Structure 1
Amino acid sequence: MTRRTTIALAGLSAVVAAVGASTPVQAQTCFGVEYRVNGATTALTTAITGAITTTEAALVAQEIAERARLLSAVKVLTAQSAAGSDQVSNGFRASSEALATTVATQEQRQAVALATHRYGSVGYDPCGSNTKAQGLYSAMVGTTAVRRQIVTPVRAQPGRYADPKEWVADVKTGDAPDGAALYSGDTAAASKFINTIVGPPDPQPRIGATTATTDLARLEKTGRDTYRSMTAVVLADIAADYRADGPIAQARNLSTHWQGNDGGAAWAAGVAGQHDRGIIQDAVRMEAANLALLAHQIKRGMRTEATAAALLLAMVNARISNSVPVPGRGSTPASFQTP
């Protein structure tokens, strides 16, 4: 190996060492190195630097592209996750709203159904019971006028004088007096019976009688009119109560609204499915009917007491004044005796 070859190999080794170093070594500074070695070294350095630069640029570009793809994938994944979360949230919200709407609607319908059932329960046939109650009220209020109509045809009227022949003609041409006429509902028959029971009217006092005789006759007539008018009024009141459309008939008609011929089965079936409000209303109507019947019963009791009191007063008056025959003795009043 020549000295020149040795120098060349040494120079190549130096070039390779220079390429591997961080700072390239300038070959021309080395003494004894040929120009071509320096040229090859420069070319190799340029090629390696270019390859490094190209590779670095490609790697940087690929890294940017991969990072962009990764960011894009992350964005897509985030958007999909957000959309999925929104869908789930919207689904839960929609289902909650639907459930709330269903519950509210159901509660409203139940409230409406309960109100309809509550306020639609008005008892058993309220219109019928009100009509019957109104009929009873009208009959009780109209009893006074009917009683006057029954008493009016009676011949013997308080404070009036009349010819007894008319009363005798009425009794002869009429049917036999029957107390059942008071309860038959026939006011005309009841009036005829009362006319017969009360008796003939008082005749007109004789003209020319003294003042004392006239006053005594008037006093005796007042006493007779007292118990006769009471008898007529009481009997007429009984007949008025038992007339065809009187209080007794209307009270029976009202009672059949809840009892009836079936023992109240129709009423029980009518209120079986109703609200408590309807049953309470029926109970109030029943209680009102009971109060009306109680008031009528009290009236009948007072009428009985008044009749007994009038009879007692008449008997006492007959005992004291002897102006009225005592029952069972057949005596003649002093005013009717001939001197």
Structure 2
Amino acid sequence: MTRRILLSILAAAAIGAVTPAQAQTCFGVEARVNVATSTLTTAITGAITTTEAGLIAQEIAERARLLSAVKVLTAQSAAGSDQVSNGFRASSEALATTVVTQEQRQAVAEATHRYGSVGYDPCGSNTKAQALYTAMSGSAAARQQIVTPVRAQPGRYADPKDWVSDVKNGDAPDGAALYGGDAAAASKFINTVVGPPDPQPRNTGSSTAADRDRLEKTGRDTFRSMTAVVLADIAADYRADGPIAQARTLSTHWQGNDGGAAWAAGVAGQHDRGIIQDAVRMEAANLALLAHQIKRGMRTEATAAALLLAMVNARLTNSVPAPSRGPLTPASYQAP
């Protein structure tokens, strides 16, 4: 036991010393101790060297593995970060593309809805409005066509027998012809109401008598022409394609027989722009009808003024026979 302890102490001393101690320098130590010590020192030194070399080799290998693992981890982390970053970027781009596309589609849909809303049947209303304008513009020509067949014309003399023949051979005059739309029937009625034309005066010897006859004819022509023009204008307004018929057709575009239910259903799902356009068309139609109403009011006032003038002239000239003087004959006829 003592020997083993001594060997352990010597081994520890040999490991800790720079150079192993020589046992022969120590007195009383046997030679075999020195040999065993030398052998032990060599074995320990070899074991330490082998162990140190193995540890160094293992440490280098472990370091290489560790570095490799760190590199792999770093690469994986970098790749993962890139993938995450690329994923975020791709998802952001996809989201931005989706948002932009959606906004564009919404803008297109809004524009389509806005500018596609043009009111209820705009082509139909425009066609009817154009027909009303054409009818109102052509009223003067239609009135002239109706009044042309009348026998009594201002400034002209003619034989009354033609007028008498027209009255005898024709139907009984009826004021409904002015509102029936038949221009020929209206002309016959106006011809009957206006009366026969003035025959050519015979007393041409005196200039005073001729001037008097011409003055009287001018007065009669004034009343007759006013009557003929007013009645012909009424008949022109109520002709089949006249302003009254076209105005009724235009009004039924929004009202109709259903009270406007079709129009309301037609604009229910439209944009405000379409409803405003329809409102503008309605207001334009109202203005056209108001203009025609003003024209009719002026015609009524002109008729009343002409009637009043005829009554005043009859009172002043006493050209209209009193009831006690008997019925009006062609010989006593002077004014309508």
TM-score, normalized by length of structure 2? 0.86
Q: Percent identity?
A: 83
Of 286, 290, 298, the residue aligned with 1:302 is 298
Of 254, 263, 267, the residue aligned with 1:267 is 263
Corresponding letter in the other structure for 1:166: D
Q: Residue in 1 aligned with 2:4? A: none
Deviation per residue, 1:185-218 (Å, 9 max, x gap) = 0000100111111111111121642000000000
2: distance between equivalents of 1:330 and 1:54? 170
Which shows bigger deviation, 70-79 or 13-22?
Answer: 13-22
Q: Residue in 2 aligned with 1:189? A: 185
Q: Residue in 1 aligned with 2:238? A: 242
Which shows bigger deviation, 32-41 or 78-87?
Answer: 32-41
SS of the equivalent of 1:257 reads: helix
Residue 48 (structure 2) pairs with residue 52 (structure 1): yes
1: distance between equivalents of 2:313 and 2:100? 85
C-alpha deviation, 1:39, in angstroms:
7.3
C-alpha deviation, 1:36, in angstroms:
8.6
2: distance between equivalents of 1:327 and 1:27? 188
1:315 and 1:326 in contact (8 A); partners too? no
Q: Residue in 1 aligned with 2:14? A: 19
C-alpha deviation, 1:88, in angstroms:
2.7
Corresponding letter in the other structure for 1:315: M
Residue 207 (structure 2) pairs with residue 211 (structure 1): yes
C-alpha deviation, 1:250, in angstroms:
0.5
Which shows bigger deviation, 285-294 or 48-57?
Answer: 48-57
Deviation per residue, 1:26-76 (Å, 9 max, x gap) = 667779999998777666555543433332222111111111111111221
C-alpha deviation, 1:164, in angstroms:
1.1
SS of the equivalent of 2:198 reads: coil
Q: Describe how 1:160-175 pairs up with structure 2 within 5 A.
A: 160-175=156-171
CA RMSD of aligned residues (A): 2.9
1: distance between equivalents of 2:112 and 2:159? 72
Q: Residue in 2 aligned with 1:286? A: 282
Q: Residue in 2 aligned with 1:115? A: 111
Corresponding letter in the other structure for 2:230: V
Q: Residue in 2 aligned with 1:325? A: 320
Q: How many aligned positions are there?
A: 325
Which shows bigger deviation, 24-33 or 298-307?
Answer: 24-33
Of 131, 143, 163, the residue aligned with 1:135 is 131
2:203 and 2:209 in contact (8 A); partners too? no
Q: Describe how 1:1-12 pairs up with structure 2 within 5 A.
A: none
Corresponding letter in the other structure for 1:259: Q
Which shows bigger deviation, 166-175 or 34-43?
Answer: 34-43
Of 71, 76, 93, the residue aligned with 1:75 is 71
Q: Residue in 1 aligned with 2:3? A: none
1: distance between equivalents of 2:81 and 2:311? 110
Q: Residue in 1 aligned with 2:229? A: 233
Corresponding letter in the other structure for 2:320: P
Which shows bigger deviation, 205-214 or 234-243?
Answer: 205-214
2:114 and 2:271 in contact (8 A); partners too? yes
C-alpha deviation, 1:284, in angstroms:
1.3
Gaps (5+ residues) in structure 2? 1-6
Gaps (5+ residues) in structure 1? 1-11
Distance change >3 Å, CA 326–CA 307, structure 1 → 2: farther
Which shows bigger deviation, 234-243 or 61-70?
Answer: 61-70
Corresponding letter in the other structure for 2:212: L
C-alpha deviation, 1:126, in angstroms:
1.0
1:167 and 1:200 in contact (8 A); partners too? yes
1:318 and 1:326 in contact (8 A); partners too? no
1: distance between equivalents of 2:265 and 2:245? 26
Distance change >3 Å, CA 17–CA 179, structure 1 → 2: closer
1:122 and 1:277 in contact (8 A); partners too? yes
Which shows bigger deviation, 189-198 or 280-289?
Answer: 280-289
2: distance between equivalents of 1:118 and 1:103? 22
TM-score, normalized by length of structure 1? 0.86
Which shows bigger deviation, 257-266 or 235-244?
Answer: 257-266
Deviation per residue, 1:146-176 (Å, 9 max, x gap) = 0000111111111111111111111111111
Deviation per residue, 1:91-122 (Å, 9 max, x gap) = 33333332332222222222222222222111
Corresponding letter in the other structure for 1:84: G
SS of the equivalent of 2:253 reads: coil
Distance change >3 Å, CA 218–CA 329, structure 1 → 2: farther
